[in-house]
Amino acid sequence: MLAMFANTNDPLADELFGRPTPPLERKKAAEVRVHRTAKAAVGAGLRFSSNNVERNSPERATPSVGQYLYHLNHDLRNFTRAETLNAVIGANPVEIQRVAKLAAKLKGRYLALIIDLGTAERGTIGETDMRELERARRMSEEAEAGLAALRAAIESGDLELDGVKAAE
């Protein structure tokens, strides 16, 4: 993700981004750490000779928080799209309609349970009634959340539907 900000000649970047480091490069990486430590000390007001401070420091390639968050969001979108395309094989509008119908049916059952608890013929409300009501609510909310996630994935282009043109 942040490899674009790294200096390609920086042995420490190789280590950070998982690239194999030859033995001679490891020595350079250790030297870079010493130089970075020296530079940090100079910034803190301590004295070091100018020979110990690296003038072309990799810190210049360090992104700002805004740049990092922008690229993080971009990568998250790409990762989500790739994982969705790998996990969902052949979604079609009929399946989405079935999910919508299931969510509506679960919500209807939940509302019916609530109304049933308020009828005059019903006695006291017990723990089993509450557990059943809670279970129905969770199922209804989960189906609605799943449908909302499907809709968001379709709108963002993360989920492709067979037989439907992509938005232009």
**Phi/psi of residue 120, nearest 5 degrees:** -70, -30
Say what the pLDDT of residue 41 is: 53
Say what the pLDDT of residue 28 is: 63
Say what the pLDDT of residue 97 is: 96
Say what the pLDDT of residue 58 is: 58
Say what the pLDDT of residue 75 is: 94
Average pLDDT of adjacent 10-residue blocks, the chain of 168 residues: 54 54 59 58 52 53 89 92 88 94 97 88 85 96 96 89 79
Give exposure, 43-82, as e/b (b: 16+ Cβ within 10 Å). Answer: eeeeeeeeeebeeeebeeeeeeeeeeeebeeeeeeeeebe
**Phi/psi of residue 8, nearest 5 degrees:** -70, -15
Say what the pLDDT of residue 164 is: 84
Say what the pLDDT of residue 126 is: 87
Q: CA distances (Å), 157 to each of 83, 164, 165, in order?
A: 13, 12, 11
Question: Exposure of 159 by Cβ count < 10 A (0-12 exposed, 13-18 middle, 19+ buried)?
Answer: buried
Identify the residue whose tokens are 């509008």: 93
Confidence (pTM): 0.56
